[in-house]
Amino acid sequence: MTNQKQRTAVVGASGYTGADLIRLALRHPNIDIRALTANSHAGKPIAQVFPHLANHNLPTLIKNEEVDWDNIDVAFCGLPHATSQQVIRDLPDHIRVIDISADFRLRDPELYEQTYGSAHAAPQLQQQAVYGLTEHYRAEIESTRLVACPGCYPTAALTLLLPVVKQGLIDATDLIIDAKSGLTGAGRALKQNTLFAEAGEGMCSYAVGTHRHAPEIEQELSLAADQPLVVNFTPHLIPMSRGELVTCYARLAEGVSVSDCKDTLQKFYLNEPFVNLSPDGVTPHTQHVRGSNQVSLNVFEDRIPGRVILIAALDNLVKGSSGQAVQNFNVMFGLPETTGLEQLALFP
Amino acid sequence: MTNQKQRTAVVGASGYTGADLIRLALRHPNIDIRALTANSHAGKPIAQVFPHLANHNLPTLIKNEEVDWDNIDVAFCGLPHATSQQVIRDLPDHIRVIDISADFRLRDPELYEQTYGSAHAAPQLQQQAVYGLTEHYRAEIESTRLVACPGCYPTAALTLLLPVVKQGLIDATDLIIDAKSGLTGAGRALKQNTLFAEAGEGMCSYAVGTHRHAPEIEQELSLAADQPLVVNFTPHLIPMSRGELVTCYARLAEGVSVSDCKDTLQKFYLNEPFVNLSPDGVTPHTQHVRGSNQVSLNVFEDRIPGRVILIAALDNLVKGSSGQAVQNFNVMFGLPETTGLEQLALFP
Amino acid sequence: MTNQKQRTAVVGASGYTGADLIRLALRHPNIDIRALTANSHAGKPIAQVFPHLANHNLPTLIKNEEVDWDNIDVAFCGLPHATSQQVIRDLPDHIRVIDISADFRLRDPELYEQTYGSAHAAPQLQQQAVYGLTEHYRAEIESTRLVACPGCYPTAALTLLLPVVKQGLIDATDLIIDAKSGLTGAGRALKQNTLFAEAGEGMCSYAVGTHRHAPEIEQELSLAADQPLVVNFTPHLIPMSRGELVTCYARLAEGVSVSDCKDTLQKFYLNEPFVNLSPDGVTPHTQHVRGSNQVSLNVFEDRIPGRVILIAALDNLVKGSSGQAVQNFNVMFGLPETTGLEQLALFP
Amino acid sequence: MTNQKQRTAVVGASGYTGADLIRLALRHPNIDIRALTANSHAGKPIAQVFPHLANHNLPTLIKNEEVDWDNIDVAFCGLPHATSQQVIRDLPDHIRVIDISADFRLRDPELYEQTYGSAHAAPQLQQQAVYGLTEHYRAEIESTRLVACPGCYPTAALTLLLPVVKQGLIDATDLIIDAKSGLTGAGRALKQNTLFAEAGEGMCSYAVGTHRHAPEIEQELSLAADQPLVVNFTPHLIPMSRGELVTCYARLAEGVSVSDCKDTLQKFYLNEPFVNLSPDGVTPHTQHVRGSNQVSLNVFEDRIPGRVILIAALDNLVKGSSGQAVQNFNVMFGLPETTGLEQLALFP
């Protein structure tokens, strides 16, 4: 099994997520890239869109509808939301799908519609999709046909918070999640606020109270806490390309200490290859995970008694997107989970 | 009065704070720079330390003890803490002092010792010093001999929070202050974590729970709330040179709305030339205040009912340091408060 | 005269050049901004386009054709090329014009057409326009109605080379001009290669051999050398916002030394407020001129005998664009040339 | 043979070069890291010096003299120059050495002394060392005991120029090499000009005419041209961490065209896995090689007839240092040359 190559399509290959997926896939012994799609670039070699991917014998970009699905086993989808669900809905049944878009992350059709502004085009699939936070849904991912990979912010926030919320160590009704992301998180689309001259040497918060990753975080934390939750989620745009930092502020449950939180995280992730607690007192730094599938966590005393600070750092394009997609691929196909994801962080 | 030039010494002129003070002072009609000190660079022209300050007929750098104080009216002190108090203690009485160091910010000698690790060398002066948050201590600044300019983080946090805490609009016992700063905030001293290769393209929190600006923020908020307060203050290092952003998370007092907070800030700063609320929905951006003495504020609904998000952006070297020092100079010498501080932000 | 305010229109105010011009104009005692145009943003307050320009009582943005020219004395034009010439052609005669676009820089209609791809719409005006490299065309600028401000690269290259070429100190037929610019030089238009994620942490050359500033440099150097010249001009995109560095490689004329070049530059710019030679051995650094109207020059020995290296640094949006435009305004209206341009560099 | 692991020491492991070497070595099937030295950090786990290298069961840092050389087969040396030669001189004969320092790059003892300011401590070894520009010295590297890996700038410049100089396509007596490097090229030592606040958002040339990589470039070009050469080499510091760009300006030999240069490079590197010509008209971009062992080359017409522009981009820490060291290891031990170096560029 582990020697077999899966014939793979990357649907929506012209964004940063697509590029990073191809980067990882090319070094993965069980992925054989058979099709690359990008409707607006159909007919071009990938090297015209991503010069660093030249010289790898990759297939020419085609339109989504041009893929020969009979000869494909698995599809990674990096399409914009709304488009993704339509394309995936129409795929033949034998195709296993790893969706990197936002389309199948929310389980509740109403919440989806409210968050994304239109009804879901594939509500049945939506019910079947498994939320691809690997460390927390491994068993379900193994056997599913459709994985919905979490957003970058939810991956960081949930990896950090789920274990302590499940154990009831913190008051989940009063969670503050201050998040900071580099510019690749905003994608490759042309927007004024992502120009170098606008984003460089400056920072600001954005989508305060309204970011679409908030309902996703709330959905999973609510499940963990077994009660409907609303959380503060405040993202910031930081002048760097890759990297995401989440600083969470929480009230400890009665009788719980900061060490209890730390111990719980330590235990929960003890055998996980991609999640690590930083040494005591060391704050997670995005440079130390850049380009890798690692998440760094740590927990700190607050000055306010009874409060705790939890911090996570990851690379938004790897563990926050394409790396976790590959990790889910490994789980789905019974491979060692680190296959193709062994590269270390690129520091500095 | 407003035409008179004050004979001015800049004590500790070789740091970023010194450089920015000189930049502002050279364009100020009432400041006549008569002495520049920097013990480790004594004897050098300032242009050797700061090439951009060449061609301005500035005095040669001398040692602190070489200043001819008889011919000086006012001193800006940008020395490291501990040194600053010793130098200021020994100044002749006629010298009015604007201290940019941390030495006279804390009113309580015990808190000072606990925070800075040694007893204060000039405890009497410490009692007389006025906290130089101009918009909040204007009257006291006017008549004092010694102003202790606030730290950059406290300037941002207190400008944002003091009016709403004074009015009791938020629960001051449960304040989260997530702060983000560019690298100039760390000074010009050689440290590994401030090298370009270490700080660029990365971010992390630092001094979690232990930063020295926390007691300073607590001191002023406690006075405003009329009760001893402890706050969360969590600073982060961001890959940019100038700029600071403070995102505060607070619980609204019973019956108080987000608009109440906004109205209170709007009213409090209505006639202030350097503090502005951003338009509805617009998040303060550090690029829009870079190089200027402005602070941008705004207030946002939280997803969690009963909570509010308050945000401030400023340039840590200007309003957060040298600009506010000049603003205090203007108040002390009866000048229009914007004198020498009219320059706009350098965008982009 | 020097107390009089000129009623001023900024035509094409929504680009970086427009923003920087407004920044300077607002602090200029003789400029009264009466109209701001931006066809695609007509009807908006400028603060919607440039938040840092809020709170300055600036006129609302209007269309080019909506300006009430009867009540305007002078226009700064920051329109895209081709549009600029049409708008300027139709202005009433009493308006003095300072054009920041490329439209009137080339004197030869054929060269213009060849370089910009279409015939000039106002060839007569083109003949009358004065090239606004202030230090070299001061007398002509004083009396002209239309100044064509040089491009940023030509300003740097010509300031550096014109004096030595005029004196015949270097072989002008064999000039290499390696130029490096920050991203604001590419403007505010949405282009993939100016996104933060594409331009950050990377560099490349562009428009090799074909950049439109090359003919402009050649035009002026040819005049100086009194022979038609072709030069190497190779621009590079550097991950920073503001700043331009030009490194020129030249062969010394027979019997000429590096010091001769340096002395010539020193003498030529001795009384110029905006052009300075760096101290011996110190390389011009863009940080030392950022936000100011200064140019730093220096000259170095090459390892190859008989060769010389000449270097210039400036801020592409100030001396390379809006600052020089204001400098030309000062010359045109008989004001001290530094009026409104006294601000120092923002370092760091 | 290709399955055998070489017991490896990394001598001088605490710099950026050491870190990148360990990053590559940990993924290399034939490298078994047995010792890591760093005199000033002896006794610490590597994770204290490089947190991203935690969790890899690496040996604790020790002093150079503490290595048990009997159980080591090969040493990578990343020590500062002068120290490197002393340590290597005293190694047992069975150790094969890949030196990343500057100590064995220059063949002529006098040139070494003149360039580095003191006599060489191991002149005999100096004579035996092979210059490790892999594509040009492969055969010699295979059989040598000591490889002197080239500097980052020489790797870029020589890869670009050697084939065309050997063929006599350009006038090697009149070469201009304008080079631009990110900050990691300056190392991890604490220097004021490499602080984020000093280097960010700015650029300058440095060591004009005097950089130590110039003699190294000249040595190799002289050999290729079979005549003693002096070249212009002008490095610039660019605000980014990794990446190096070399833009060369040359006069074509009589009758030679730009395509001749291109064809020669194309042919020379046709079967080389790490050297590629960019497509026609595409300028090499450092982002497209970051983190990889690739060099991108291209050749362009100059505006000046008879001249040519040649450009190379690489990652200074990989192909410019540790990656080429690993490439040489592969050659020395008869391994496929891409072993351990297959990772793609990290874009963006």
What pLDDT, in 10s, does the model give residues C50-97? 999 999 999 999 999 999 999 999 999 999 988 999 999 999 999 999
Contacts of B255 (CB under 8 A, 6+ apart): none
Residue D81: pLDDT band (50, 70, 90) is confident
Say if the Cβ atoms of D188 and B197 lie within 8 Å: yes
Q: What percent of chain D has pLDDT over 90?
A: 98
H-helix or E-strand containing D221? helix D213-225
Residue A2: pLDDT band (50, 70, 90) is low
Looking at residue A261, its pLDDT comes to 98
Q: Enumerate the active-site residues of C.
A: 152
**The pLDDT of residue D76 is above 80:** yes
* Strand order across the beta sheet in which D74-77 lies: D61-62, D31-37, D6-11, D74-77, D96-99, D146-148, D130-131
Give me A285's structure tokens.
């730094």
C70 DSSP 8-state letter: G
Contacts of D341 (CB under 8 A, 6+ apart): D24, D274, D292, D293, D323, D326, D327, D330
Contacts of B203 (CB under 8 A, 6+ apart): A180, A238, A240, A243, A245, A285, A286, B236, B237, B238, B239
Nearest to B241 among D182, D183, D197 (CB): D197
Q: Which residue, among C172, C176, C228, C229, has the nearest Cα to C205 in the 3D structure?
A: C176
**The pLDDT of residue C180 is above 70:** yes
Q: Distance between CA A304 and CA D146 in Å, rounded? A: 60
Contacts of D98 (CB under 8 A, 6+ apart): D74, D75, D76, D77, D132, D147, D149, D325, D328, D329, D332
Mean pLDDT for chain B overall: 97
Q: Let me know how long chain A is.
A: 348
Task: Name residue B323's amino acid.
Answer: G
CATH fold for domain C153-316: Dihydrodipicolinate Reductase; domain 2 (3.30.360)
Please name the residue of chain B whose CA is at the shortest distance from the CA of residue C243.
B348
DSSP secondary structure, C158-222, as one string: HHHHHHHHHTT-B-GGG-EEEEEE-GGGG-SS--GGGBHHHHTT--EE-STTT-THHHHHHHHHH
Tell me if A28 sits within 8 A of A86, measured CB to CB. Answer: no
Q: Distance between CA D298 and CA D308 in Å, rounded? A: 11
Interface B-C, measured as beta-carbon pairs within 8 A, has a size of 76
Residue B156: pLDDT band (50, 70, 90) is very high
Domain definitions of chain C by residue range: 6-128, 153-316
**The pLDDT of residue D217 is above 60:** yes
Residue range B203-216: mean pLDDT, rounded: 97
CATH code of the domain made up of B6-128: 3.40.50.720
Looking at residue D189, its pLDDT comes to 95
Measure Cα distances from A88 to A12, A42, B45, B73, D348 in Å: 12, 19, 69, 76, 27
* Residues D268-291 pLDDT 10s: 999 999 999 999 999 999 999 999
Please name the residue of chain B whose CA is at the shortest distance from the CA of residue C45.
B279
Say if the Cβ atoms of B198 and A239 lie within 8 Å: no
Place of tokens 């920072």: A203
Q: Which residue, among C117, C142, C106, C144, has the nearest Cα to C128 in the 3D structure?
A: C144
Residue range A190-207: mean pLDDT, rounded: 98
Tell me if A200 sits within 8 A of A239, measured CB to CB. Answer: yes
**The pLDDT of residue C231 is above 60:** yes
* Residues A213-260 pLDDT 10s: 999 999 999 999 999 999 999 999 999 999 999 999 999 999 999 999
Looking at residue B2, its pLDDT comes to 58
Specify the pTM: 0.97
DSSP secondary structure, D307-331, as one string: EEEEEEEE-TTIIIIIHHHHHHHHH
Task: Name residue D130's amino acid.
Answer: V
Q: Which CATH architecture fits D153-319?
A: 2-Layer Sandwich (3.30)
Say if the Cβ atoms of A347 and D50 lie within 8 Å: yes
Q: Distance between CA C25 and CA C19 in Å, rounded? A: 10
At CB < 8 A and 24+ separation, what contacts does B339-342 make?
B339/B2, B339/B28, B339/B29, B339/B30, B340/B24, B340/B25, B340/B27, B340/B28, B340/B29, B340/B30, B340/B31, B341/B24, B341/B274, B341/B292, B341/B293, B342/C27
CA angle (A133, A137, A142) in 5-degree steps: 110
Residue C2: pLDDT band (50, 70, 90) is low
Residue range C24-47: mean pLDDT, rounded: 97
Provide the 3-class DSSP secondary structure of residue A47.
Answer: helix
Looking at residue B35, its pLDDT comes to 98
Label residues D312-337 b or e (16+ Cβ within 10 Å = b).
bbbbbbbbbbbbbbbbbbbbbbebeb
**The pLDDT of residue B1 is above 80:** no
**The pLDDT of residue B257 is above 60:** yes
* Residues C301-314 pLDDT 10s: 999 999 999 999 99
Nearest to B346 among C27, C289, C291 (CB): C291
Say if the Cβ atoms of B188 and D199 lie within 8 Å: no
Tell me if B322 sits within 8 A of B20, measured CB to CB. Answer: yes
Nearest to B16 among C53, C276, C348 (CB): C348
Nearest to A200 among C191, C192, C241 (CB): C241
Give the distance from residue C346's alpha carbon to the nearest chain A alpha carbon, in angstroms.
13
Tell me if B183 sits within 8 A of B199, measured CB to CB. Answer: yes
* Residues A36-82 pLDDT 10s: 999 999 999 999 999 999 999 999 999 999 999 999 999 999 999 88
Give the distance from residue B282's alpha carbon to the nearest chain C alpha carbon, in angstroms.
9
Residue range B295-302: mean pLDDT, rounded: 98
Q: Distance between CA D258 and CA D268 in Å, rounded? A: 16
Q: Which residues pair with C99 in a beta bridge?
A: C77, C148
Cis peptide preceding D109, ω within 30 of 0: no
**For residue A241, which residues of chain C lie inside 8 Å, CB to CB?**
196-197, 200-201
Residue D3: pLDDT band (50, 70, 90) is confident
H-helix or E-strand containing C258? helix C258-268
Say if the Cβ atoms of A348 and D241 lie within 8 Å: yes
Q: Which residues pair with A236 in a beta bridge?
A: A180, A205
The interaxial angle of helices C16-25 and C323-332, nearest 10 deg, is 50
Residue range D241-254: mean pLDDT, rounded: 98
Residue range A270-299: mean pLDDT, rounded: 97
Contacts of A123 (CB under 8 A, 6+ apart): A109
Q: Distance between CA C305 and CA C292 in Å, rounded? A: 36
* Strand order across the beta sheet in which C74-77 lies: C61-62, C31-37, C6-11, C74-77, C96-99, C146-148, C130-131
Tell me if D308 sits within 8 A of D158, measured CB to CB. Answer: no
Chains that touch C (3 or more CB pairs under 8 A): A, B, D
Tell me if D214 sits within 8 A of C289, measured CB to CB. Answer: no
Q: Distance between CA A207 and CA A125 in Å, rounded? A: 29
**The pLDDT of residue A1 is above 60:** no
**For residue C249, which residues of chain D lie inside 8 Å, CB to CB?**
176, 178, 232, 234, 249
Q: Which residue, among B198, B167, B161, B165, has the nearest Cα to B183 in the 3D structure?
A: B198
* Residues B133-152 pLDDT 10s: 999 999 999 999 999 999 99
**For residue A279, which residues of chain D lie inside 8 Å, CB to CB?**
47, 51, 54
Contacts of C139 (CB under 8 A, 6+ apart): none
* Residues A115-124 pLDDT 10s: 999 999 999 9
Sign of the CA dihedral running C17, C18, C20, C24: positive
Q: Distance between CA D197 and CA B314 in Å, rounded? A: 17
Mean pLDDT for chain A overall: 97
**The pLDDT of residue B30 is above 60:** yes
Tell me if C320 sits within 8 A of C293, measured CB to CB. Answer: no
**The pLDDT of residue D2 is above 70:** no
C230 DSSP 8-state letter: -
Provide residues of D within 8 Å CB-CB of chain A: 16, 19, 23, 26-27, 47, 50-56, 184, 200-201, 241-242, 276, 278-279, 282, 285, 287-292, 342-348
Give me B77's structure tokens.
């002190």
Residue range D255-259: mean pLDDT, rounded: 98
Looking at residue A116, its pLDDT comes to 94
Q: Which residue, among D70, D104, D107, D61, has the nearest Cα to D86 in the 3D structure?
A: D104
C-beta atoms surrounding C209 within 10 Å: 17
Task: Name residue C230's amino acid.
Answer: V
Q: Which CATH number fits domain B153-317: 1.20.1290.10, 3.30.360.10, 3.50.50.60, 2.30.42.10?
A: 3.30.360.10
Provide residues of C within 8 Å CB-CB of chain B: 16, 19, 23, 26-27, 47, 50-56, 184, 200-201, 241-242, 276, 278-279, 282, 285, 287-292, 342-348
